[in-house]
A and B are shown apart, each in its own frame.
Chain A
């Protein structure tokens, strides 16, 4: 929008109120919204990626240890099926200790009877102690599916020991450190945090730049139109119609406003002159 005729940027001279300062420009508003959406998207995507990985990874680790427990269970049950009592299976202690030495991550493997008394344990000092009630509950159904639970900083995987009459004789559980799973997924977490922060910075800058290009034009156009309005109202002239219907109508608005101001001033002067004639 161009202004033709005498120009003035002082709104006061036109009788119009002074310009209101722009506290939150359009670019800033939309940038804030878009960057917030980007941040939320990255956070949520990262959150889901991390937890999905954590879930798959921990279930894989658990299934590995389930297999170890399953093997021990088979060996113990083979002996139970020969009619031996669980308490009498002395060789089980060797089996447990062999499994522990094979994998340094295994904290303990223990076999307990149906009442929860530990009969064999890689930590021999724990033999004779009682296992927590939740482990006794977990073996009660005699399910062939391994169960998983936690104990302070350890993860536990276990299976019930069932004789060939279907009676639950006890259970076997293996403890491994929760930190082992955490360590396995930490790499991904750090990667997500680092990549997420970098991408947030780069794409926020891109958003700001893109929005400046998109909305800067709107702001400049409106500011130009406002200056034209002030100038025309202050010292006359006219606004040239711009490239679109809105600007054409604005030019007509400016012209009409100016016309009204001049007409009312003329009328006021005429009324004053008539008043003064007496």
Chain B
């Protein structure tokens, strides 16, 4: 390993984390599934026996009245409710003494006749046998002490397998989340303990190599790196100390010596030393602290994780809090806290960015955590929709402050490297937290309840604050001055390409995100039979996973092919098409695919949306600064974030929940089609030429 290239070290560390985390969880899951099967199969047999015995008892009663077994009426109606109420029972049948099928419900007689004809069910009591994909349990039918036939109960062998698969998927999700969390923590530990200090040492070392002994490293850890830095700084201080003594001696001679020749010679020596080496003017070496974008990644990850924990159940929680006395329709009541949350983020973000630049990211992060933590905690105690709206507003204020503080810190720390890398740190932390938070939050809420999950979110938020408080020093990188003016921002909207991008690409994409993904998806999925909160959370994880997988690819495509407007248009069309997919396929079970397509849509279009700005707003970027133009794009698109939930809520009373998904899809697709048509004019329009000509 080389100390100036720590990437291989980190990759090996990740490999080790994979080896240490995945096999034990796999072994644990394998053993648990075995135990699960061993515990479940006997219980299923007992159930089949109970069902067979009760059905046999009823049939025996009928036979006892003198009705021949093959003349029984209404057997289909007799079997149907039993099958409907017991999903694991696939078929019910009655066979005569020769094992011929007299009545059957749930399976085709041709499927079972070959098996029944060669199976011996005699021998008294119930008999269990394997028939194709079924476990068959035969219960004898007795009349006057003689076996006259059998009730056959067929259990689905796949039932146990599918339950095992559910557990395996649960554990798989946990393992994926654990791996992502461990990547974040290990990245933080390696950056904080090795990469950061080594980079700081390199910076100071470069200065010393050029003869500048005016700086030391501000690393005080108690590990090998800290010890090395201690010695390294000691060498610089030693040289500085020797120089200070010489300087004091020379000053004494210069002021007190009577022989001007000696004074002149001493001044020559001083000039020579100062020419060869440089020392701090403050009397001792100054401390250099190397700030990196990754410093803030773990606290940001934890904070966003806390917020995302409620993603999969927020509409369901609001629905539980709803009472008609609020004076709102249920749909609007559900939309209210989600939309207000988005509104406060949009409203506070610009001020948060300015406060962060003025007060420093660390302080704003800590300030923002206060309302956010109170908001999380109190959301868990909310009594009604208005209560929750209030506490979610507080959380949104905190969220805006914290995320803006992080963006500001990253932008400042990444100045020397590249902004794109810094943005990657931010987006990476947010998306990873989104995957883990959504997955773990849903499964947790299923076990411990919505309210306890909010309390856990508040606790995570406190941990993020402690990390910032303890590990980030008070000295922050300097912020660049901000100079946005409202008039300039509004002038941006006169640029038709920018206006079209905001109105027909950025806003519909946010409408789909908040209206469909945040609002309608949990409500729609909960209507699907057999889906619980854990399932909803797992399906919702498809969105951030798709974005994570596609974003880097789209960014590379946008850079290489220069087809940015096209990618934005294609992304929008895919998102709109995805929302309409359930109506096109006629099956609402494909909602998972719609969510994945929304992720694909946003993964494809998010980076090109930013990358296209310097092309279409060349003049504005030059006048206002590219950062400010991008900030305005982000602010403007939040109009869609606020509209989305209300639009979805307005559609529900007209079309129902499933219809609202389609209606929202039609709106998004319609707007995306407009952008797609306009995008053809992007590359060849006179606007760019005019700007370039300036």
Contacts and interface: CB of A to CB of B under 8 A. Distances in A.
Contact of B16 (A51, A210, A225, A265): A210
Contacts, number: 305
B273 interface: yes
A210 B273 CA distance: 49
A199 B24 contact: yes
A214 B178 contact: no
Given A34-B182, A45-B25, A206-B20, A67 B50 contact: yes
Interface of B is mostly: helix
B257 A278 contact: yes
A196 B35 CA distance: 14
B54 interface: yes
B222 A44 contact: no
B20 A210 contact: yes
Contacts of B36: 49, 53, 56, 188
Interface-central residue, B54, B221, B235, B258, by most chain A CB under 10 Å: B235
A61 interface: yes
Contacts of B273: 263-264, 267
A249 B269 contact: no
Contact of B242 (A102, A244, A264): A264
Nearest to B253: A275
Contact of A226 (B185, B221, B228): B228
Interface string B638-664: 000000000000000000000000000
B47 interface: yes
Interface residues of B, number: 103
Given A64-B43, A67-B86, A263 B222 contact: no
A42 B28 contact: yes
A219 B99 CA distance: 78
B92 to A, nearest CB: 12
Contacts of A84: none
Interface of A: 11, 14-17, 19-26, 29-30, 33-34, 37-38, 40-42, 44-53, 56-57, 60-61, 63-64, 66-68, 70-71, 102-103, 184-185, 187-188, 191-192, 195-196, 199-200, 202-203, 206-207, 210-211, 214, 217-219, 221-223, 225-226, 229-230, 233, 243-247, 249-250, 252-254, 256-257, 260-261, 263-265, 267-268, 270-272, 274-275, 277-278
B21 A199 contact: no
Contacts of B223: 22-26, 29, 219
Nearest to B1: A217
B71 interface: no
Interface stretch (B200-208, B565-573, B682-690): B200-208
Given A52-B166, A214-B16, A41 B178 contact: yes
Nearest to A208: B20
A217 B194 CA distance: 13
26 contacts: A14-B238, A22-B224, A26-B194, A34-B16, A37-B181, A37-B185, A42-B24, A52-B167, A60-B88, A191-B35, A195-B27, A195-B31, A203-B21, A210-B19, A218-B194, A218-B224, A244-B4, A246-B202, A249-B209, A254-B235, A264-B243, A264-B246, A265-B242, A271-B266, A274-B265, A278-B259
Given A49-B32, A257-B236, A37 B178 contact: yes
Interface-central residue, B5, B28, B194, B211, by most chain A CB under 10 Å: B28
